[in-house]
Structure 1
Amino acid sequence: MYLFSKIPQFPNSQIPRFPNSSILRFPDSHILCFFLLLTSYLSFAQSFSHTDTLRGGLRPERTSFDVKHYNLSVKVDITNKSISGSNEISFGVVEKTKKIQIDLFANMIVDKISMKGKSLSFKRDGNAIFIQFPNELTKGSNEKILIEYHGQPRAAVRPPWDGGFSWTKDPEGNPWVTVSCEGLGASVWWPCKDHPADEPESADIHVEVPSELTAVSNGNLISKVAKGSTTQWNWHVSYPINTYNISLNIAKYAHWSEQLTQLNGKTLDLDYYVLEKNLDKARAHFQQSREMLLIFEKYFGPYPFPKDGYCLVETDYWGMEHQSAVAYGNHYKNNPFGFDFIIIHESAHEWFGNSISCSDHADLWIHEATGTYAEAVYLEEKMGKDMTQKYLNGQKERIKGKYPIVGPYGVNYQSPDSDMYFKGTWMFHTIRSIVNDDLLWFKTIKDFCLDFYHKNTSTEEVVRYFDNKLNKNIKPLMDFYLFMTEYPTLEYKYLGGTLTYRWKNLPDNIHMPVDLLKGKSDKIRLTPTQNWQELKIENGFQFDTEHFLMNVEKLN
């Protein structure tokens, strides 16, 4: 029994919103769905604050304008662990308005906000800034505002998971400054429209640091400008970019460049920034990125940001998918399967997370499940299905099943566990097994990358896409994996040469076949329903739980 007192409280009577879904229809014969949904709803046993709603919600002060470009300038004071600078925000007016919301953490001080040289009034509400215009902005117009600010940004606690600025030193004692802010938000250190639904079409990032150090950001290095004891590094991003992906890395870096001829015949620039003492081993270790890029191009299409190139930057934390400046901190170690999963996983996000991006953090599985599944695709191409199955089996052991993969919308939801990675990748592994047609499966994956190129999307849209392309009525099952905490459970009995079986917790609108294995090569595909079915078969069989994410319960 679920006590209603356990239902989380949401600000402004806001409850977790779920997309329309076939699994959420409640005909009498599928009443079980209601209890599964209620279980999912009660799994969000946390409250959300006014601050969460301001960060995660889309209200008129946000939806009335569309960011076109950020021109961010930051001077980094390493001694005082502070920054100062400005951000010029270019935007188009979508609906007439006199007020917009920009985000910057409350500990950061806004010096001035201006438009066309004239100061604008603004009011803070925690980490949100509401900017008032003297005259109504006209729908269809293009505008610019300049925000000048300074302060000591939040120090990272456990980067990249509990992020912020990391003010550390390299092994030689030189300053080493990095940023990680996924989930926490880019507004922890610079003013922006900090919501995943709105990415700028391009960005310029200018970083001023002591001249003996290198400042690496996203995109292409356009120029360096000496300013006495400091140097400003000017970077340009030519594509849409998530705000949390805009980053900076400051250290005594060694740098080298290479070029890769892609499968499409075009040349891709590769850049690598590592600590000087690690240069030799990095040159050898990072060679796997070349092979990875070609494998990912084969299965996912060409690298999504060719003008900006591909880059790995050594950081003092594990890793992060910063677009065209992928953070790497795995200490040049391969896993037992012979590859560095940080290089593979974080680089996969260039396709899944950076090119294809979710519009709400509740749908972050679109980044992480696909990025994790890309590891399996990479490994299978290199070492075959058997080795990849061992890899997937290890990931399966890490599924916790405590929270749904998809979270509440509009509250900047942060998943408390890793099921969006490992349960998510097993969802894809299961669907591939159900489809039982690798040509169709991998064509669908590649088409997904191409059709959603540089696109913000949602669970509802992605699930419908796979359902339509695979032509297998797969949507109800994907919804089950994404919104429910449990696995599909198959009950069976075996007596006198007769196998009796049924789904315990799947309504009949979810069509999930399973394979029955007999010996080393014999396989029988079953189509269980909620009703008991029988099969005459000799003992010695087993259900295939290596290709289908499910529980199997034997009844006496």
Structure 2
Amino acid sequence: MRALVLICLSITLTSAFSQSYLKRWKTFDVQKYSFSIAVNDSTNSINGRAEIDVLFKKKSDVFMLDLKSVDTDDKGMFVTHVTVDAVTDVVWSHKNDLLVIQTNGVRKGDRHKYTISYFGVPADGLIIGNNMHGNRAFFGDNWPNRAHHWFPCIDHSSDKALVDWTIRAPNHYDVVANGKFIDRTVTGDHTYTHWSSTVPLAPKVMVAGIADFAVQESGKAGTVPVSTWVYQQDRDNGFAQYSIGPEVLSYFIGKIGEYPYEKLANVQSKTRFGGMENAGNIFYYEESTDPLRDVEGLFAHEIAHQWFGNSVTEIDWPHVWLSEGFATYLTDLYFEDKYGKARLKERMTNERESVIAFSKKRMVPVIDDATTDYMQLLNANSYQKGAWILHMLRREVGDDIFFKGIQTYYMTYRDSNASSDDLRQVFETLSGKNLKSFFKQWLYIPGHPRLKHTFKNDSGRVIIEIQQIQKKAFKFPLDIKLVFEGGKSEVRKLNISKKKGSFKIATSHPVIRIELDPDVRVLWEPVFN
């Protein structure tokens, strides 16, 4: 996800909800969601029918789903009917955003299909309203846990299931959704459009988009079809702007491995973010079709998410750097390979400045268990510092192991979930190194090295003093560029591990200047007083 404008929502995960999710995760596993959603042009109310196929991991008297209750503004969902296995009515209750269904004592290994009929005006999640041209449109916008505002689900990033969409809409609309296109049936003034996924998805990236689209088949990346969906008024500019899609997708297939989804649709939308990486159909901000906008980095970031964030999904929200840090650094790699190493150095320098600036506002670790407003996790720690951790890991293990590690991590956790420890273990296995201290200091300790340095020439050598002035010392390699009289220079590597260190280097000429980290390989901040 690339944040353009973040609308700060009060999305708070209470301890009760957290306990509820953990209990549910241990008790049942949704195998597939089948959603039938009807929209109209006269009201913002939707009619929904959800068929939920669930496998019970152990005995349970209830099956619980997240679904927004009706609020004081009459927004939210009204449940009208619940059945099990298509025939039997069941007892249920819906309050406090939780739909609790009585199971009559299912046992471990039982599998049932619950059908829930409901209607209402979404308070969030499904964005309904006029687009930039004044035309009505509907766009799912679920991140982080807003899916339950318009369909019942277990609304957590790590709970994955297949999803099937049937959208009923007035027949002037086109519909794009996750998965493979199945069919489109016209009935009077309405159409029924059917899409279906063949791989499990997290609710945060289960969406449909409904608008008066102009659609173009942009090409293929290998065998993967790539399409463009833009507003009719933006047809020509949008097709041109979005034409980069197949090139970017091809790059990441070559860099990471097989693309995880049936197709890639790049979609102009009303998402609140600059881009939202919905699985197989990415939603970009409305103005992204403007030819004056440079969208190459945005496309690279969101397409990279299809592997990391979507297919390999963080096990829980504090590990969101595994999504955003990966997408940020893979974008850096895209620019490095396409435009050269100087472009990578430029990007890493800018990202380092973002991390330093953020640390002045909030001194928190990358893995931040204390923050429960998930929107607050969309910060420079998750994006730019996450990218920097991967950049430094690349140096720690070397390019060959690093890129093999990225591919192995993807193949190991494809279509499932992973933690930061899972990533560490992949790289430890491949490199033969103990990386616990590396991951601990960069992920769990707030801040970064803040360095003061001095040097002096002394009888055929230069003495360099390096001082870490942050609270806790970091351990890292630091390149030093020695610049001599006459303009010649050389680079030496120092191993920094203490709060203050003195390094003596033999030289044949007096040093007139030193530069720390000339190739931009370490996340650090210079201190000058």
TM-score normalised by L of structure 1: 0.82
User: Judging changes above 3 Å, is the alpha-carbon distance between structure 1 residues 55 and 73 closer, same or farther for their aligned structure 2 residues?
Assistant: farther
Residue number in structure 2 paired with 1:419:
381
Residue number in structure 2 paired with 1:514:
478
Separation in structure 1 between the aligned mates of residue 13 and residue 229 of structure 2, nearest angstrom: 40
Residue number in structure 2 paired with 1:314:
268
Q: Which of the numbers 314, 325, 339 marks the counterpart of 1:369?
A: 325
Separation in structure 2 between the aligned mates of residue 92 and residue 217 of structure 1, nearest angstrom: 25
| Most deviating of 173-182 and 402-411 | 402-411
User: Judging changes above 3 Å, is the alpha-carbon distance between structure 1 residues 169 and 506 closer, same or farther for their aligned structure 2 residues?
Assistant: closer
| Alignment partner of 1:529 is 2:497 | yes
The residue matched to 2:164 in structure 1 has which SS?
Answer: strand
Residue number in structure 1 paired with 2:92:
122
CA deviation map 1:333-390 (0-9, x unaligned)? 5799x65222111111101111110121121111100011111011011100102211
- Per-residue deviation, 1:414: 4.1
Q: Which of the numbers 274, 294, 304 marks the counterpart of 1:348?
A: 304
Does the 8 A contact of 2:463 with 2:502 survive in 1?
A: no
The residue matched to 2:39 in structure 1 has which SS?
Answer: strand
- Percent identity, aligned pairs only, is 23
Residue number in structure 2 paired with 1:380:
336
Gaps of 5+ in 1: 1-46, 156-162
Does the 8 A contact of 1:515 with 1:526 survive in 2?
A: yes
Residue number in structure 2 paired with 1:58:
21
Separation in structure 2 between the aligned mates of residue 286 and residue 313 of structure 1, nearest angstrom: 9
> Partner amino acid for 1:113?
V
CA deviation map 1:377-406 (0-9, x unaligned)? 110111001022112222222220213221
> Partner amino acid for 2:206?
I
Separation in structure 2 between the aligned mates of residue 393 and residue 174 of structure 1, nearest angstrom: 42
> Partner amino acid for 1:81?
N
Does the 8 A contact of 1:502 with 1:528 survive in 2?
A: no
Does the 8 A contact of 1:55 with 1:195 survive in 2?
A: no
User: Judging changes above 3 Å, is the alpha-carbon distance between structure 1 residues 334 and 458 closer, same or farther for their aligned structure 2 residues?
Assistant: farther
| Alignment partner of 1:430 is 2:392 | yes
Does the 8 A contact of 2:158 with 2:315 survive in 1?
A: yes
Residue number in structure 2 paired with 1:141:
110
Separation in structure 2 between the aligned mates of residue 211 and residue 52 of structure 1, nearest angstrom: 45
Residue number in structure 2 paired with 1:220:
180
Separation in structure 1 between the aligned mates of residue 18 and residue 372 of structure 2, nearest angstrom: 7
Separation in structure 1 between the aligned mates of residue 472 and residue 266 of structure 2, nearest angstrom: 47
The residue matched to 2:368 in structure 1 has which SS?
Answer: coil
- Per-residue deviation, 1:322: 0.7
Separation in structure 1 between the aligned mates of residue 275 and residue 51 of structure 2, nearest angstrom: 29
> Partner amino acid for 2:320?
L
Separation in structure 1 between the aligned mates of residue 230 and residue 12 of structure 2, nearest angstrom: 40
Separation in structure 2 between the aligned mates of residue 326 and residue 113 of structure 1, nearest angstrom: 33
Separation in structure 2 between the aligned mates of residue 222 and residue 147 of structure 1, nearest angstrom: 23
The residue matched to 1:352 in structure 2 has which SS?
Answer: coil
The residue matched to 2:410 in structure 1 has which SS?
Answer: helix
- Per-residue deviation, 1:126: 1.1
Residue number in structure 2 paired with 1:167:
129
The residue matched to 1:203 in structure 2 has which SS?
Answer: strand
| Alignment partner of 1:465 is 2:421 | no
| Alignment partner of 1:292 is 2:248 | yes
User: Judging changes above 3 Å, is the alpha-carbon distance between structure 1 residues 553 and 331 closer, same or farther for their aligned structure 2 residues?
Assistant: closer
The residue matched to 1:284 in structure 2 has which SS?
Answer: helix
Does the 8 A contact of 1:64 with 1:94 survive in 2?
A: yes
Gaps of 5+ in 2: 1-9, 71-76
Residue number in structure 2 paired with 1:8:
none
Q: How does 1:19-98 map to 2 (within 5 A)?
A: 51=14, 53-54=16-17, 57-98=20-61
Separation in structure 2 between the aligned mates of residue 277 and residue 188 of structure 1, nearest angstrom: 30
Residue number in structure 2 paired with 1:543:
516
The residue matched to 1:58 in structure 2 has which SS?
Answer: helix
> Partner amino acid for 2:523?
L
Does the 8 A contact of 1:321 with 1:327 survive in 2?
A: yes
User: Judging changes above 3 Å, is the alpha-carbon distance between structure 1 residues 333 and 370 closer, same or farther for their aligned structure 2 residues?
Assistant: farther
Does the 8 A contact of 1:167 with 1:177 survive in 2?
A: yes
Separation in structure 2 between the aligned mates of residue 125 and residue 182 of structure 1, nearest angstrom: 22
Does the 8 A contact of 2:218 with 2:245 survive in 1?
A: no
> Partner amino acid for 2:289?
Y
Residue number in structure 2 paired with 1:111:
80
Separation in structure 2 between the aligned mates of residue 74 and residue 376 of structure 1, nearest angstrom: 39
Separation in structure 2 between the aligned mates of residue 126 and residue 119 of structure 1, nearest angstrom: 22
| Alignment partner of 1:245 is 2:213 | no
- Per-residue deviation, 1:119: 2.0
Residue number in structure 1 paired with 2:3:
none
Separation in structure 2 between the aligned mates of residue 132 and residue 231 of structure 1, nearest angstrom: 35
User: Judging changes above 3 Å, is the alpha-carbon distance between structure 1 residues 261 and 426 closer, same or farther for their aligned structure 2 residues?
Assistant: closer
Separation in structure 2 between the aligned mates of residue 438 and residue 185 of structure 1, nearest angstrom: 39
Residue number in structure 1 paired with 2:167:
207
Does the 8 A contact of 1:404 with 1:484 survive in 2?
A: yes
Residue number in structure 1 paired with 2:193:
233
Separation in structure 1 between the aligned mates of residue 239 and residue 291 of structure 2, nearest angstrom: 15
TM-score normalised by L of structure 2: 0.86
CA deviation map 1:102-147 (0-9, x unaligned)? 000112111122113222222334112222222x111112111111
Does the 8 A contact of 2:139 with 2:210 survive in 1?
A: yes
Separation in structure 2 between the aligned mates of residue 432 and residue 86 of structure 1, nearest angstrom: 48
Separation in structure 2 between the aligned mates of residue 218 and residue 455 of structure 1, nearest angstrom: 17
The residue matched to 1:140 in structure 2 has which SS?
Answer: coil
| Alignment partner of 1:153 is 2:122 | yes
| Alignment partner of 1:448 is 2:409 | yes
Does the 8 A contact of 2:388 with 2:523 survive in 1?
A: yes
Residue number in structure 2 paired with 1:498:
463
> Partner amino acid for 2:230?
V
